[in-house]
Chain A
Amino acid sequence: MKHIMIIDDSPTIRTSVEYALMGLGYPIANAENGSDALKKIAAIKGKGDDVALCIVDVNMPVMDGITFIGEFRKDDKFTPVLVLTTESEEQKIRAGKEAGASGWIVKPFSNQDMVKVVQRLVK
């Protein structure tokens, strides 16, 4: 079973993403920051499962989104990574892309937009 990993320090955003994606049928895993996410992804893969997509915030304590993407890409080149940003973060979008992100979505997002973007990435 492939999981969708939501990485954001804000429970509001995590819940919002989770609600938006509920209908897609993917099990959803949550992490509060990049290093938390790396650990959880390792655990998921350890159980023989995989990750279909990571949705990652940029600004987080402990390990930020950009660093996370870099770390994640070290041993997973192809799994899409979606960056959550606010409009003011164009340079972050660029940084995320350089680190290996596959797309981005701007907060606040509508459920439909989130579903559309995610479906495009995980199909």
Chain B
Amino acid sequence: MSDTVIKEVFLNEAREILSNVESDLVVFEAGSDPEVLNRIFRYVHTLKGSSSMAGYENVSELMHDLETVLDRLRSGSLAVDDRLVDILLECFDWVKLALFDGGSAEETGAAQRGLIDRMAAFSAEKPAEDGDAAQPEEAKDYGYRYFRVRAKFRDAIFESGIDPLSIIEDFISLGRVVEMSVDDDLPELGSLDPEKCYLGWDITIKAPCRLEQAEEVFLFVKDDNEIVLEDVTSRFIDDSGGDKYLEEKRIGEILVRKGILTRKELDDVLADQELTNRKIGDIIVEKGYAAHKDIQYALGEQDRIRTKIETGTVRVDTRKLDSLMNLLGEIVIGQSAIARVADELPEEQGFMLKNALYGLDRTTREFQEQIMAIRMIPIGATFEQFRRFVRDTARDIGKEIRLEIFGEETELDKTVIEKISDPLKHMIRNAVDHGIEDPAERERKGKSREGRIRLNAYHQEGNMFIEVTDDGAGLDVGKIRSKAVSLGLMRAGDELPEEKLFSYIFSPGFTTAEEAGDLSGRGVGMDVVKTNIEALRGTVEIDSAENVGTTFLIKLPLTLAIIEGMLVRSGVNIYIVPLLSIVECIQPKREDVKVVEGSGELIRVREKYVPLVRLYDYFGIRADCENPWETIVVIVETGKETLGIMVDELVGQQQIVIKSLSGQVTRSRAVSGAAILGDGKVALILDVHGLFGEMTRTQ
């Protein structure tokens, strides 16, 4: 995009320059005014720079030649005559042709060569010495070389806005630092001038480049600073190509650190080593500085150091990982397209193709796991940040609370971790504010003065669980009940299970605190917590007992991008049910289906009645069959809710790449996204939890 903008700006600029330069040339021909010549030169120069920037290489080339001619005119080594002015004018005509009049590449190319020849003929006496002939050798593979630089910058270097450190960093970035020492020739603090540079560096790097490239780094500073750059490869590499000197030196350093060798002895040994190129260990033993087993020990140490150095890390932009994940998603889609083709092939071929696909499928899964593993970071850091938060908020309201953290090494997708932090904070704040009692009250109850909040994270069944537990008063069932009644969520006489009551605290506007506390209790928070967690396709459950405490259990998927899905068909439509929420698939008997006043249709599953959702009914489509006992019911579970989804057929199971739907497409909470199937059709992904919510709301 920026390219077209720059081109446009350039064409406007060129148009202006061309019209100016023409008149200037005519004026110049009339009476060689040096000021006019300077102006023409500047126009040409500007055009040269900006055309190359805008991608008009041919214009830039011609301007370069023109510049050379004009430069000679300025210095007086060429005289002006009308022939030259003709050439110059033609040059600009050519530019016009190339830029505006759509001259073909051939036409302009030929014309350009003609002009260049004429210019060359005009300044024939000038040999073409500048550059063209001596092109530098193209990047030949030089392997690794060692460069040592000793750099002492002049003390006033900062005054030209140059940061010596950035030059040093540039140098280092060419390769890997082998040795480095900083010569800190600092004066007494009192006489230290912060605007002066006192440091000098002595660095050796191992880099895959030529000496010239290393020299380039110092080009701007080498004239007026003490910079000595040398290629010291021969010191480091022996015939076998290993880092001999370095290795040997490292052993020596370890021996010195261990107190086996003195620094002076090491210098002595190293000097000897450099001359004879023998193993340092042999020299040490020979000179009687250390025993053989001490050297063995140092060698073991060295191996450990080396492995430590070699398991390096790479910092990668998370967007790259995202796009990798997306691409993998496309592969998964492509795979299912092939699988469909396999279905339609003659049996034997189909079988072979499917077999091959099976292997591929395994690889993609592994691939997916690996990418996910890259995105995973431990949740520890997120947990740790709450220590301070708990301490400060508890102290503010006169409570004594200790935060305990478990499972900090548990890893979770980075995006999920970022988004879970706020909900966690809300929950912890609630625990501090409402959960844990005052120290005095706790003592009355026979508890320790100090309350405890525990954060725990663990993996289970392809999900991540986070528990936020406090040992406080527990949720007040009575208060929740009366509040729920006043908000019209239930009737006064209803007997509801505790979980159901607890789940009311996630309703918008719900708070049981009589007076809003400083921290929480304004009725904002828990519903937001729930929404946020559900946006991550997670669930949150509450378990609470009076005076024992409350536990919030958050369940999160490990990744947001791909799920295992069961494809089900209802009428002509395919829907996807996340495999993780499926308990079983059954064909109910006729007598197992009941209609209960106020609860809608129920089916009996293993001595338990669960609500039945007729998928076709919910989506307003036509199904093959409307009698539950003639269809298949998929029993799904989310948290403590169980639901039967009535479908016509189970199509199959596959990896599903989730594509999110924007709000315009559907506001239904029962749909969490969509997926592209192998045949290119789109299928909606059911959100079991949301579906349950929608069902209970409509009844």
How close is B159's CB to chain A, nearest CB, in angstroms? 4
Cβ-defined contact, A12 with B54, below 8 A: yes
Cβ-defined contact, A12 with B13, below 8 A: yes
Q: How far is the CA of A121 from the CA of B169 in the complex (A)?
A: 12
Question: Taking CB as reference atom, which chain A residue is nearest B44?
Answer: A59
Asked whether A34 is an interface residue with its Cβ less than 8 Å from the other chain, the reply is no
A-contacting 9-mer, from B1-9, B274-282, B313-321: B1-9
List, in ascending order, chain A residues with CB within 8 A of B52's CB.
Answer: 107-108
Cβ-defined contact, B2 with A103, below 8 A: no
Asked whether B294 is an interface residue with its Cβ less than 8 Å from the other chain, the reply is no
Cβ-defined contact, A78 with B158, below 8 A: yes
List, in ascending order, chain B residues with CB within 8 A of A61's CB.
Answer: 39, 42
How close is B22's CB to chain A, nearest CB, in angstroms? 18
Number of interface residues of B (CB under 8 A): 34
Chain A stretch 56-109: residues in CB contact (< 8 A) with chain B = 57, 59-61, 73, 77-81, 84, 86, 88, 93-94, 97, 100-104, 107-109
Asked whether A47 is an interface residue with its Cβ less than 8 Å from the other chain, the reply is no
Cβ-defined contact, B161 with A79, below 8 A: yes
Interface size class for chain A? Answer: 35 or more
Question: Taking CB as reference atom, which chain A residue is nearest B131?
Answer: A87
Among candidates B41, B161, B195, residue contacting A80 with C-beta atoms closer than 8 Å: B161
List, in ascending order, chain A residues with CB within 8 A of B42's CB.
Answer: 9, 59-61
Cβ-defined contact, B161 with A107, below 8 A: no
Question: Taking CB as reference atom, which chain B residue is nearest A102?
Answer: B161
Q: How far is the CA of A13 from the CA of B47 in the complex (A)?
A: 10
Known: A9-B46, A97-B220, A103-B220. A81 touches B13 (CB 8 A): no
Cβ-defined contact, A108 with B53, below 8 A: yes
Among candidates B46, B53, B166, residue contacting A120 with C-beta atoms closer than 8 Å: B166
Among candidates A12, A73, A102, residue contacting B6 with C-beta atoms closer than 8 Å: A12
Known: A12-B6, A12-B53, A107-B49. A88 touches B159 (CB 8 A): no
Q: How far is the CA of A16 from the CA of B60 in the complex (A)?
A: 16
Q: How far is the CA of A79 from the CA of B159 in the complex (A)?
A: 8
Among candidates A59, A81, A100, A121, residue contacting B163 with C-beta atoms closer than 8 Å: A121
The CB with the most chain B CB atoms within 10 A, among A57, A97, A101, A111, is that of A97
Asked whether B604 is an interface residue with its Cβ less than 8 Å from the other chain, the reply is no
List, in ascending order, chain B residues with CB within 8 A of A84's CB.
Answer: 49
How close is B384's CB to chain A, nearest CB, in angstroms? 29
List, in ascending order, chain B residues with CB within 8 A of A103's CB.
Answer: 162, 220
Cβ-defined contact, A16 with B162, below 8 A: no
Interchain Cβ contacts under 8 Å between A and B, 7 examples: A15-B9, A16-B54, A19-B2, A77-B158, A80-B161, A97-B220, A108-B53
Residue numbers of A with Cβ under 8 A of B are 9-13, 15-16, 19, 57, 59-61, 73, 77-81, 84, 86, 88, 93-94, 97, 100-104, 107-109, 111, 120-121, 123
